[in-house]
Structure 1
Amino acid sequence: MFAFSLTGILSAAIGFVMARLITRFLLGLGIGYVAYEGFEQLIDQINLYLGSTLAAIPPSAFQVLHILNVETAINLVLSAYAARITIIPIYRRFVSIPTGAGA
C-alpha cells in the first residue's frame, strides 16, 4: 500500500517539474525567436542603408573597401549583435543575473 502512494507522489512530482521545465524552455525559445526576427529586420534595414551609401562613393574607394573586406566585417559585427540580442532573453529567462554593487 505504501509503495503505491510513494510511486504516485514521485510521478506527480516528476510530472510537475517536467511541465515547468518544458514551459520555461518553450517560453525562452519563443522570446528568443521574436527577438531574433525583430532584430533581423533591423539588420536588413542597416544593410540596405549601407549598400546605398557604399554605392555613392567613388569606385577607387569602393575597391579599397572591397580589398579590405569591409562589407564582410560589417556583416560579421551585425551577426554578432543579432546572436547577442537573441541569446540575452533566453539567458535572462533561465539564469538569474545578479544586480547591484557587486555585479
Structure 2
Amino acid sequence: MPIWLLAVLGGLAWIVTSLVGRVLLALGLGYVSFTGLSAWVGSVKDLVLQHLFALPPEFVQVMGLVKLDTCVSILFSAISVRLVLEGLSSDTITKMVIK
C-alpha cells in the first residue's frame, strides 16, 4: 500500500475520532445543562405562581381576569429560550476540549 494512502487514512482516522469526541461531549453537556435549566426554571415559575395565588382573593380574581399566570409562563419561557440560545452560541464547549 502506498505511503501517502496510509498517511491520508491515518489523518482521517484522527479527525473522525476527534470529531466524535467533540460531538459526544457537546451532546452530553447540552443534555445535562438543558435538564438542569428546565428543572430550575420550572421550580422558580411554580414558586412565583404559588406566591401570587397566596394573595387575597380580590387580587387573585383580578390576576385571573388579566391572565397574569399566562404572562408569567410566557416570561419564563422567554427566559428559558434566551438561556438555551446563549448556551448554543457560546464557545465554552470548544474551550473544554483538549487538543
Match of 2:90 in 1: 91
Count of residue correspondences: 93
Larger deviation, residues 48-57 vs 60-69: 60-69
Q: Which structure is richer in relative contact order (CA contacts within 8 A, separation 6 or more)?
A: 1
Identity of counterpart residues, as a percentage? 23
Q: In structure 1, list runs of 5 or more residues that go unmatched.
A: 96-103
Q: In structure 2, list runs of 5 or more residues that go unmatched.
A: none
Shift, 1:60, TM fit: 4.0
User: Within 2, Cα distance between the matches of 1:32 and 1:86?
Assistant: 9
- Which one-letter code corresponds to 1:17 in the other structure? I
Match of 1:38 in 2: 36
TM-score (norm 1): 0.66
User: Within 1, Cα distance between the matches of 2:72 and 2:7?
Assistant: 56
Alignment of 1:1-103 (within 5 A): 4-87=2-85, 88=87, 91-92=90-91, 93-94=93-94
C-alpha change, 1:94 and 1:77, in structure 2 (3 Å) is farther
C-alpha change, 1:73 and 1:14, in structure 2 (3 Å) is farther
